[in-house]
Structure 1
Amino acid sequence: MISKAPKFKPRFRLHPVAILNSQRLRRSLADTYDQKSFYKYAIGLILLLLSIGSLYYTDKLVEELEQREEREVQLYAEGLRYVFNSPFDENFNVVYQVIQDAVNFYQIPAIYVNENNLANQYINISFPKKISPQEKERIIQEKLADMKLEHPPIPVELGKNRTGYIYYSNSFLLTQLRYYPFLQLSVMLFIGYLAYLAFSSERKAEQNRVWVGLAKETAHQLGTPLSSLMAWVEYFRSDPAIDPSIAEEIEKDVIRLEMITTRFSNIGSVPTLKEEPVSEIVANFIDYLEKRVSSKVKFSVYNQLAKEQTVLLNKNLFEWVIENICKNAVDAMGGIGEIHVTLQAPPLMKEVWIDIRDTGKGMSKANMNKIFNPGFSTKKRGWGLGLTLAKRIIENYHLGKLYVKSSEIGKGTTFRISLRATIIE
């Protein structure tokens, strides 16, 4: 009589050296990002200090120039007082002309208003050509109104309780100097932004080359043992002494490994996207996944999409994203909890949202900002690559978005996948 071999479910465990290497890789990636963040903050701090220094120095120059221009206008007022209160003499006119030339040198716009509140003298005010007297008077009054708001007037004592006033505004040079630091900072920020874009583009290109090489090498390395495993499956089937269910279970795992190999081999290549019924794919895959994680984790799918709603997808890669997010959720819950998957189409947005919410421990805002960084993981044996690859698959290949919608410590986390919806006719 042929004895029936007991059922078993193969379990694969990482070798301690592999675990150590994964931890080293994760730490290396995390350290790289931490160093880049340090340099980014250091450069930002240097730019901030330079900006503060530039603004402070320019402010001092502006203050000194304002004081100098005020002294020049006061000297101009003194010249007017001297001329108005002295008997006519050619020398007085020479003195007044010298003072007026000094004000003209700094190009300080000024208007003299006499005791009757009439603006009968002005300097450094330009007018359009072929202007009528009425239009000229209107321009003078507008300039005078602006000057009254800009500086307090400088009195001109005319004697016999008569007083005139000189109103003035900043010279064009002073105005330029006042706004120059902001222009300078804008140019620096623009150049810095361009440099940041160039650096980020180069960094992403370098990272992509690393991911592509790692993924394709992994797929290549998996190919040989997979072929051997398939041969062993056929051998087990041909041996009547071995329970056929053993071969079936091994074959399921081999098929699973082949699918993983296909996923890795697709990284770096332009994937083929097809119009797929996204709600059906999600429901079927969640049903498949539920049977392969802890029995204490309950899955639920809430589909609010129209039955005919489709999305351009690469099924293998998209399922990989769902798997990575759900497995992270299972780990966050310690193998006990609930995972709720909601599919909806927001009105007037031509998008499909897939929210995956768990009842795990949640995460801090600091971790929310780093959760997609390569090498970042809260697990001791994690590579810190799953969510990074998931984000790249959604954003680079499907032109969608993957982000943390919300998270609350002790209550759980919600990830959102946003994809472009195909038009329903």
Structure 2
Amino acid sequence: MNPIQYNTKQAWKIVLLIFAAAIGIASLWYSNYLVKSLSKSERTKAEVWAMSTRSIMTMPDVDDEFISFIYAVRDSLSLPAIITDEQNNIIFWRDLDSTKTNIKLEDSLKSNVQYDPLYFQKELDHMRQAHAPITLTLENGEKWSVFYRDSKALRNLKIFPFIQLSLIAIFLIIAYTVFNSIKRSEQNLVWVGMAKEAAHQLGTPISSLMGWIELIKLKFDAENDQVVNEMERDVTRLEIVADRFSKIGSKPILTNYNVYDVIMNFVAYFKVRTSEKITFQVAGDSHVEAMLNVPLFDWILENLLKNAVNAIDKEGNILLVIKENIAKEEIFIDISDTGKGIPKSNFEAIFQPGFTTRQRGWGLGLSLTKRMVSYHKGQIFVKESEVGKGTTFRIILKSNLNYEPTQV
């Protein structure tokens, strides 16, 4: 997957995210529209209730049948409400908490009736904040204020979209996590199967090559021939590579090694197989030790050094520096090159499976490298890079010996 393909994939993710956000916004907008419509309807209900209450209280000589009709209208409009006079005295209420008072509505205007002032004052404050009061003007010129708050159904409707979107988001996160985990598990099984099959297929020709090399040594008396010795080293290297693949899926065995010596041994093998115009240098603390699986650690170094060589156009330098952080019991391994560098926007992407800047690359090298570093309970990241000047990768390993290996 080249950067263009990777960016296209990221763009699709952004498009889907925007689409999901649009659905959420549309849901909130429509819910808000419904809330406003119902709120307007409840305002009308409150006004009808207030006028019917005034009619009952100011028309005592009206026909009983008409009064019964007014009562029926008033009682059908169920909203929590409080009526106050001009002095802000509470003179009437309805649909409040019945546990706070045992007063009947018909008795609320009697002078000897007492109610819980703190409860009613609290309710009144809430109603003042919720809606502007409805003003009722009596025949004698006195003005009453009617306060009300939303019904329980309307209050629930206001918070329903947020609950709905939260549940949808939780469901999507769980579903994405589960499916992603299943996908990774299936991919891992495929990679493990392919790796073990590759190791099995390599076994026979490697054994055959080792036999042919021994035959060449005997037939041509080439025991000390440099070319034959290098061929033997390459075949041994192939044997190590096959062994790496055969152990994928099993727990690696970590042993205490001198980090400097392991790096020096691999660099000595690697540099004679690259251009003479590229120089290698290993520096830093030569005494530090860490728990390593050498075949896997060599694989880490191989991937990083190959990337460094490919990044260098014609000639350049590759520097490996080992530093010990005694306070944190850590070992820093910095691998720097004078190659073409990495844009900062790709610092994280380069470790993603399938990401590559090479036309024929598979984009698996750094992804495998990061995984193998994690087998050593370590970390790897781009410490610094500048386009046209070079890149420095940093590996952090634990220098203490008290940790368990994880499965490859």
TM-score for both structures, normalised by structure 2: 0.79
SS at the partner of 1:376? Answer: coil
Equivalent runs, 1:88-167 vs 2, <5 Å: 88-89=61-62, 90=64, 93-104=67-78, 108-126=79-97, 128=99, 136-167=116-147
Q: Which position in structure 2 is the counterpart of 1:65?
A: 38
Q: Deviations over 1:343-385 (max 9, x none)?
A: 454966x765545444433334654454233333212332322
> In the aligned structure 1, how far is the partner of 2:336 from the partner of 2:136?
77
Q: Which position in structure 2 is the counterpart of 1:219?
A: 199
Contact 2:260–2:288 (Cα < 8 Å) also in 1? no
More moved, 334-343 vs 111-120: 334-343
> In the aligned structure 2, how far is the partner of 1:131 from the partner of 1:347?
72
| TM-fit CA distance, 1:82 | 2.9
| TM-fit CA distance, 1:420 | 5.2
1:363 is matched with which residue: 329, 333, 342? 342
Contact 2:280–2:318 (Cα < 8 Å) also in 1? yes
> In the aligned structure 2, how far is the partner of 1:316 from the partner of 1:400?
16
SS at the partner of 1:371? Answer: helix
SS at the partner of 2:351? Answer: coil
| Cα pair distance change 1:257/1:59, threshold 3 Å | same
Q: Which position in structure 2 is the counterpart of 1:246?
A: 227
Amino acid at match of 1:64: S
Amino acid at match of 2:50: A
| TM-fit CA distance, 1:283 | 5.7
Pair 1:185-2:162 in alignment: no
TM-score for both structures, normalised by structure 1: 0.77
Q: How large is the Cα RMSD of the aligned pairs?
A: 3.7
Q: Which position in structure 2 is the counterpart of 1:53?
A: 26
2:248 is matched with which residue: 264, 267, 271? 267
> In the aligned structure 2, how far is the partner of 1:261 from the partner of 1:128?
80
Contact 1:363–1:409 (Cα < 8 Å) also in 2? yes
Q: Which position in structure 2 is the counterpart of 1:422?
A: 400
Q: Which position in structure 1 is the counterpart of 2:151?
A: 171
> In the aligned structure 1, how far is the partner of 2:277 from the partner of 2:318?
8
| Cα pair distance change 1:152/1:416, threshold 3 Å | farther
> In the aligned structure 1, how far is the partner of 2:335 from the partner of 2:377?
19
Contact 1:153–1:168 (Cα < 8 Å) also in 2? yes
Q: Deviations over 1:86-112 (max 9, x none)?
A: 3454456535423432331xxx32222
Amino acid at match of 1:319: D
* Length, aligned pairs only: 389
Equivalent runs, 1:404-415 vs 2, <5 Å: 404=382, 407-415=385-393
Contact 2:84–2:145 (Cα < 8 Å) also in 1? yes
> In the aligned structure 2, how far is the partner of 1:375 from the partner of 1:85?
83
Amino acid at match of 2:35: V
Q: Deviations over 1:34-81 (max 9, x none)?
A: 998687667545544432332232222111111111111111222233
| TM-fit CA distance, 1:231 | 2.0
Amino acid at match of 1:422: N
> In the aligned structure 2, how far is the partner of 1:201 from the partner of 1:94?
68
> In the aligned structure 1, how far is the partner of 2:296 from the partner of 2:399?
17
Equivalent runs, 1:185-334 vs 2, <5 Å: 185-240=165-220, 242=222, 244-278=225-259, 281-282=262-263, 285-286=266-267, 289-290=270-271, 292-297=273-278, 310=290, 312-334=291-313
> In the aligned structure 1, how far is the partner of 2:398 from the partner of 2:119?
58
Q: Which position in structure 2 is the counterpart of 1:8?
A: none
Q: Deviations over 1:127-185 (max 9, x none)?
A: 54689999932122122222222222221223454322122222111111111122112
> In the aligned structure 2, how far is the partner of 1:421 from the partner of 1:141?
68
> In the aligned structure 1, how far is the partner of 2:356 from the partner of 2:272?
25
Pair 1:75-2:29 in alignment: no
| TM-fit CA distance, 1:324 | 1.0
Amino acid at match of 2:42: E
More moved, 236-245 vs 54-63: 236-245
Identity of aligned residues (%): 38
Amino acid at match of 2:312: M
| TM-fit CA distance, 1:297 | 4.4
Amino acid at match of 1:102: S
Pair 1:391-2:370 in alignment: yes
Contact 1:113–1:120 (Cα < 8 Å) also in 2? yes
Amino acid at match of 1:394: V
Structure 2 unaligned regions, length at least 5:
104-112, 403-408
| Cα pair distance change 1:202/1:399, threshold 3 Å | farther
> In the aligned structure 1, how far is the partner of 2:127 from the partner of 2:282?
70
More moved, 407-416 vs 259-268: 407-416
> In the aligned structure 2, how far is the partner of 1:181 from the partner of 1:357?
53
Contact 1:65–1:174 (Cα < 8 Å) also in 2? yes
Contact 1:279–1:343 (Cα < 8 Å) also in 2? no
| TM-fit CA distance, 1:83 | 3.6
Q: Deviations over 1:105-132 (max 9, x none)?
A: xxx3222221111123222221546899
Contact 1:404–1:414 (Cα < 8 Å) also in 2? yes
Greater RCO (Cα-Cα under 8 Å, separation 6 or more): 1
> In the aligned structure 2, how far is the partner of 1:46 from the partner of 1:358?
43
> In the aligned structure 1, how far is the partner of 2:99 from the partner of 2:323?
67
| TM-fit CA distance, 1:315 | 2.3
